[in-house]
Structure 1
Amino acid sequence: MNNIYYKNTIFIWAVFFLSVVVSAQKENDTEENLFQQFQDFETPDEKLTFFFNAQDLYRETSTYDWLDLVNLYLNAAIKDEDSAEIERYKLIQARIYYDLGDYDKSLAISKELYAEKEDLDIYLKSKLLDIMDDNYGQLTMYTEQIEIRKEQRELGINENVAFYDIYANLGMYRKAMEHYIDNVKKTIEENDFYAQAEYYNNLGNYLRLDESAPTALSHYKKAKGYIDVYMNLITRKKSEEEIEQANLLRGIIEGNIGKCHVDLKQYKEAIPHLESAINTLKKHKTKDLSSEITENSLAISECYLQLEDYGKATDFLSDNLETKTTKNLLRKNRLFALYYDRTEDYKNASIYLKKNIRVRDSVLDNQSELRKQQLATVMGQDLAVSQTMLAEQKLALEKSRVDMMAKERNINLVLISLLFTLVGFAGLVYAYLKSIKNQRLIAEQKYIIENALVEKDSLLKEIHHRVKNNLQMVSSLLSLQTKNTRSKAAIEALEEGKSRVKAMALIHQKLYQNEDLSVIEMQSYIESLINSVQSVYKKGGHNINITVDAEGVELDIDRAIPFGLMLNELVSNSFKYAFPDDDENGKIYIHIRKIGEKEGYFEYSDNGIGLPEDTDERANSSMGIRLMNRLANQLQTTLNIDKTAEDGVRYWFNFS
């Protein structure tokens, strides 16, 4: 009995082992190495199509092994003098060099093929132009990149030519965001949560780079919400590759949220997001993510430096940290200088500061003139594309008008024939046709009026945008004048003037960003104004707790400008004078509410040291107080000051 039991047991284990071996063999057969699959194809066309359509080619086989194999095929084709094979293997070779980061080599091979592009079919041309576009982008050769995109449009490869990535590379983040919204938003379906997450993450990137961290943070949070919904959606089956891509996007979004908190000086809030992002991105050994990992590592090291945890700061900050971009290199050197300064190693701090100076002198100054030329080219091309579109629309309208005139002539001929044949019904026919004509005239007039209104709104937005740009130019001129002025009083006066100009520029910025050009939403405007004032007074104001209570209040431009200038003066005074020793417990409260349809109430207070005893005497000599009183007169009210408060100051007035 025992012998039978043992025999059965051995037989069961043998069958189990055999089934495992067979299933493993099947799995190996189904998941054949991509490198081997590439070699199994017989023709160069099959190899090329497989190479450009396969996903994650370098997961199992290194990029250099791919390059060696393609070089063997290429040398054989050269030996056989087979020009078609040479073209295809050179195209693959160019893409591999791009993936290796050798953009100059990749571009050189691409240019050889481009010189004989007439011999290439449309598929090979499209792949070649894609590679050249990518290389020009990496080498910051934006003028050449624009020409490649024009050619893609002319060949019908890409009908919608967009320049938002080039605008972003040139630092025009608002312009890039506008083009990105115009080109991408209409292509995203409402239930495509992954695409929605990518969309809001990219909007957040443009806003963060444009130094609008609070607004960027809200977009990043939207993006995180969409990617969480996508990951948790059980009604849609996702492949392993889709899950991996979603996790990567979630890691990138987490890092961006952390970087926003760093920009807002919220270092403790930033650390968990940055740590989560770094851990997620390091699981995927992808070259495209090395820059993201570097930025997150620099951001978290800055957090620990600001929190004086130097041990953890150096865990993320080291000489081995990859810095492929000038921006990351400068930030890394700045953080090293800060670390050595905090640890009182002033010699090393000086070394890293000098490194930054050399980098700026050798790179940034040389790039500035080139960027101006590239910017002019991009703007010119953008204008050319817009003019082309307008010309096409004009031709379409002209054709429509000619067709309508032809129809009118045909109708008139029919009417004349009916007039002679149907005399008895002439009156009814005339009345009926006149009614149709009136309706058409009304429809045309309505169309013209609607187009005129749209054009008016566009022109108003453009005017406000240009006014904002001119005011920013004035602000820049004041900054330049400040650098060339040694008088402390003059510098303070120029800085105050610069702050007032920024307050007015913000009004026009908010107007052209709004759908409704007649009013300004005060909550977001006040928050932006405070950020602007903080940038002027860099040594103060960042630890003050500022509360803004103006939700739902909207003012027209005639009232918003005096409000903005008055608030600029009040916040500036608080930053300069209210908290001379320690502003950690400093508080500022700003309150605006509407009492009726036209009437309202404004109040401003802080808990600083209060007003000096000679306030009344200073009122006649202080430009700021005289300016506020005149601004109050513009609002047809009187600025009230609470002189009985024990701590701080309080201003208020009613307005209509």
Structure 2
Amino acid sequence: MKGIFPIIFFILLGLSNNIFAQDANDILLKEYHAEKHDTSKIVSLHKYIKLNYSSPDSAIKYSKISIELSDKIQNIALLAKSYNLLAISYYYSGDLINSEKNLNRSLSYYTQLKDKRGMATCYNGIGVIHYDQGKLYRALQLYIQSLRIKEQLGGQLSIAMTLNNIGNVYKDLEKVEKSLEYYNKSLAIKKTLSDKHGIAMTLNNIGLLYHNNGEYVKAQDYYKRSLIIKKEISDLHGEAMTLNNIGLTYEVQKKFNLAIPYYEKSIAIKKEIGDQYGLAMSLINLATVYRANKNYSRCYKKLFESEKIAKKIGATTQLRDCYQRLYETYEIQSNIKQAYKYYRLYIAAKDSMMSAESIKNIQKLQAQYENEAKQLTIKNLTKKEELSQAKLDKNKAELKSKNIINIGLIGVLILSAILGVFFFFSFKQRTKTNLTLKKSLDEKEVLFKEVHHRVKNNFQVISSLLNLHANNTDNEAVKKALGEAKDRVGSMALVHEKLYQSKDLTQIKMDEYISQLIMHLSDGFDIETEFATILKIEDIYLSIETAVPLGLIFNELITNSLKYAFKKGANNSIEIEIKKIEDKIQVEYKDNGIGLPKNFDLDKLESLGLNLVQILVLQIQGELVVDTGKGACFRFEFSLPK
């Protein structure tokens, strides 16, 4: 849901004003430089890092220095703590991969020390990362692991934090009662400890839970209780966030005039405290309400204001959302030219979030590799020259000392020298050619990635155009046909997306592709019926020529199951099995829905989707077999291209 961010405490941080924090930073850095002993230096650095998570680059820099010093004195406890602080610093920078990697290093040291409190902290931290990545069941497992240790050790505030995190997972899993159970346990502990900041945070999260469940009156009650405490403790950041959340509850109820003052108050506080990221987000929310009131001039004004801030601070997420609202608003006003312009900007912002950092890392590694290869070539050539010179000097000394002139030997030596020079220049030329070929291959790889990226973007543009046409027609049959075409385009776009994100630009890992395709299709359907997916897919890579038709086949079969096969409240499931036997791929798709009609006949199909399935199976030189027993089952096999 837009603009709502559940608060998960990665660690327990104190609040201090900016002037005090800056003074403390200066004092701690002076202490660090003045200390003579490495242990004291590390302790000063740890204090400095904890105060500077909001400046992650600085926190990362000093965390790495702390690790070097800890490693130097071989202090395992300080190493464990230093890696933990580095992980938190990476987390605040948005680098979840490096954060998890360093938490696992910290965990290994805490395990070596048998430090259960440290282990519990790491399990909780890794759980937070998995939660942010949407891996909810893994996050839940880690939180529970952390909670068990904390309950053995005591420390009520830390227990309350993990209980709150478990509540967040159950909230996202839409298990309302379970989520409330853990939130209330957390809340009870915080009330006992008079932890006002924690109480306000959990009240806000309960508000989010009721909001997501559509119980907006209850959500507003908990938000307002949270707001009272946040005002009492002068938590301006929290106050602005909760005001924004209250605005959202009124917005979803279409009480737009009631939402506006809450958004405006939130914006005023964010301007006061300099929260540029939050300000850009709340301006987008306020613009959305103005749009709903058909006050388009104010809507555009707020969106352009948000765009300016987002560009200035490099807030790609807010920029993406801003462009999305702009293209949607222009589309509503039938300004197709401007809608298309901002749709392209929206796609570009969305893609840059996924690819900018990976491209930067690839270029860095490529430059490093080329430099190392160049240095190695120079070193080898220098060594060969030195060896050749040494050999010539030795021959000269022997000839001088013996004073024997052997015409035959001279001839052999001259011939050897000529061959040596020939081979040397051949080697040099071959090395140069190899480096040129490598550079050419690297350039082609980047080109192929860019081609796949552009193809995927063009597919998305086509998808958007289909969507625009669907929204501009009242003919339900046309809308349905355009929607199905959009899904087919989406399955092909996904192939190219997987290709430009993979190391191998010619093959696609099928288990990842099918999983993502199912998510893409289920997200696109406005259905209340739940279903489970069972994937039995071996570690198989297929070329684009095979993956595209196979993706379209699954697109049609999954769509058919979601639209026609499942009943609300039943234990619905889709099972896909793909396995390799010698040089053949065997595929089986089945659901446990209402099944196919008794008179089902492959040769007399009227459905475009199933006709397309049959054509695509033939295209990859397979033969479709249908089982009309319980549910629907489709089988086929095909040979791998040689």
TM range (shorter): 0.5 to 0.7
CA distance in 2: counterparts of 1:404 and 1:375, whole angstroms: 48
Within 5 Å, give how 1:453-472 maps onto structure 2: 467-472=455-460
Residue 614 (structure 2) aligned to one of 616, 623, 629? 629
Q: Is the 8 A contact 1:578 1:609 kept in 2?
A: yes
Residue 590 (structure 2) aligned to one of 604, 612, 620? 604
Within 5 Å, give how 1:537-552 maps onto structure 2: 537-538=525-526, 540=527, 542-552=528-538
Cα deviation code 1:80-132 (max 9, x no counterpart): xxxxxxxxxx9537579x9xxxxxxxxxxx9xxxxxxxxxx999xx99x9999
Alpha-carbon offset, residue 261 of structure 1: 0.9
Give the residue type in structure 1 aligned to 2:129.
Answer: L
Alpha-carbon offset, residue 600 of structure 1: 0.9
Alpha-carbon offset, residue 197 of structure 1: 3.0
Partner of 1:420: 396
CA distance in 2: counterparts of 1:273 and 1:456, whole angstroms: 54
Determine whether 1:191 maps to 2:176: no
Residue 583 (structure 1) aligned to one of 568, 579, 592? 568
Alpha-carbon offset, residue 231 of structure 1: 4.7
Residue 652 (structure 1) aligned to one of 627, 635, 640? 635
Partner of 2:139: 220
Partner of 2:547: 560
Partner of 1:489: 477
SS in 2 for 1:636: coil
Partner of 1:47: none
SS in 2 for 1:585: coil
CA distance in 1: counterparts of 2:261 and 2:476, whole angstroms: 28
Q: Is the 8 A contact 1:255 1:274 kept in 2?
A: yes
Residue 501 to residue 453, structure 1, CA distance change in 2 (3 Å): same
Within 5 Å, give how 1:60-75 maps onto structure 2: none
SS in 2 for 1:200: helix
Residue 251 to residue 555, structure 1, CA distance change in 2 (3 Å): same
Give the residue type in structure 2 aligned to 1:536.
Answer: G
Within 5 Å, give how 1:259-298 maps onto structure 2: 259-262=171-174, 266-276=175-185, 278=187, 293=202, 296-298=205-207
Give the residue type in structure 2 aligned to 1:416.
Answer: L
Give the residue type in structure 1 aligned to 2:634.
Answer: Y
Determine whether 1:181 maps to 2:97: yes
Aligned-residue identity in percent: 21
Q: Is the 8 A contact 2:509 2:540 kept in 1?
A: yes
CA distance in 1: counterparts of 2:121 and 2:535, whole angstroms: 35
Give the residue type in structure 2 aligned to 1:651.
Answer: F
Residue 508 to residue 286, structure 1, CA distance change in 2 (3 Å): farther
Cα deviation code 1:297-338 (max 9, x no counterpart): 2343246x46x8x99767645464468488865654455677
Residue 536 (structure 1) aligned to one of 521, 524, 532? 524
SS in 2 for 1:550: strand
SS in 1 for 2:133: helix
Residue 132 to residue 607, structure 1, CA distance change in 2 (3 Å): closer
Residue 325 to residue 607, structure 1, CA distance change in 2 (3 Å): farther
CA distance in 2: counterparts of 1:371 and 1:642, whole angstroms: 55
Alpha-carbon offset, residue 233 of structure 1: 9.6
Q: Is the 8 A contact 1:254 1:276 kept in 2?
A: no
CA distance in 2: counterparts of 1:419 and 1:245, whole angstroms: 82
SS in 2 for 1:250: helix
Within 5 Å, give how 1:354-503 maps onto structure 2: 358=286, 360=288, 361=290, 366-372=305-311, 374=314, 402-422=378-398, 467-503=455-491
CA distance in 2: counterparts of 1:525 and 1:616, whole angstroms: 28
CA distance in 2: counterparts of 1:505 and 1:403, whole angstroms: 47
The gaps in structure 1 that reach 5 residues or longer are: 1-54, 68-89, 99-109, 111-120, 138-144, 170-175, 209-215, 235-239, 342-346
Give the residue type in structure 1 aligned to 2:568.
Answer: D
Alpha-carbon offset, residue 519 of structure 1: 5.6
Q: Is the 8 A contact 1:586 1:608 kept in 2?
A: no
CA distance in 2: counterparts of 1:550 and 1:508, whole angstroms: 23
Cα deviation code 1:277-299 (max 9, x no counterpart): 55566677778868853662234
Q: Is the 8 A contact 2:517 2:555 kept in 1?
A: yes
Q: Is the 8 A contact 1:194 1:226 kept in 2?
A: yes
SS in 1 for 2:590: strand
CA distance in 1: counterparts of 2:568 and 2:585, whole angstroms: 35
Cα deviation code 1:443-487 (max 9, x no counterpart): x99x98999999988876676566545544543444444444444
Determine whether 1:200 maps to 2:109: no
CA distance in 2: counterparts of 1:168 and 1:472, whole angstroms: 31
TM-score by length of 2: 0.56
Cα deviation code 1:382-435 (max 9, x no counterpart): 68898788767766665665555444433332221112235799999x99x99x
Cα deviation code 1:616-639 (max 9, x no counterpart): 89835x432332222122232233
Cα deviation code 1:591-615 (max 9, x no counterpart): 3243723241423234237549798
Within 5 Å, give how 1:60-139 maps onto structure 2: 91-92=19-20
Cα deviation code 1:254-296 (max 9, x no counterpart): 244224313xxx4455444444555566677778868853662
Bigger radius of gyration: 1
TM-score by length of 1: 0.55
Residue 253 to residue 590, structure 1, CA distance change in 2 (3 Å): same
SS in 1 for 2:623: coil
Q: How many residues were matched structurally?
A: 492
Give the residue type in structure 1 aligned to 2:310.
Answer: R
CA distance in 2: counterparts of 1:57 and 1:483, whole angstroms: 50
Partner of 2:293: none
Cα deviation code 1:330-364 (max 9, x no counterpart): 654455677xx7xxxxx969855997874634656
SS in 1 for 2:577: strand
Residue 203 to residue 403, structure 1, CA distance change in 2 (3 Å): same
CA distance in 1: counterparts of 2:88 and 2:587, whole angstroms: 45
Residue 232 to residue 613, structure 1, CA distance change in 2 (3 Å): same
SS in 2 for 1:529: helix
SS in 2 for 1:584: coil
Partner of 2:556: 569
Residue 399 to residue 336, structure 1, CA distance change in 2 (3 Å): same
Give the residue type in structure 1 aligned to 2:97.
Answer: I
Partner of 2:162: 250
Within 5 Å, give how 1:297-312 maps onto structure 2: 297-302=206-211, 305=213
CA distance in 1: counterparts of 2:541 and 2:166, whole angstroms: 36
Partner of 2:71: none
SS in 1 for 2:635: strand
Give the residue type in structure 1 aligned to 2:207.
Answer: L
SS in 1 for 2:634: strand
Cα deviation code 1:128-163 (max 9, x no counterpart): x9999877x7xxxxxxx9xx879989xx9999xxxx
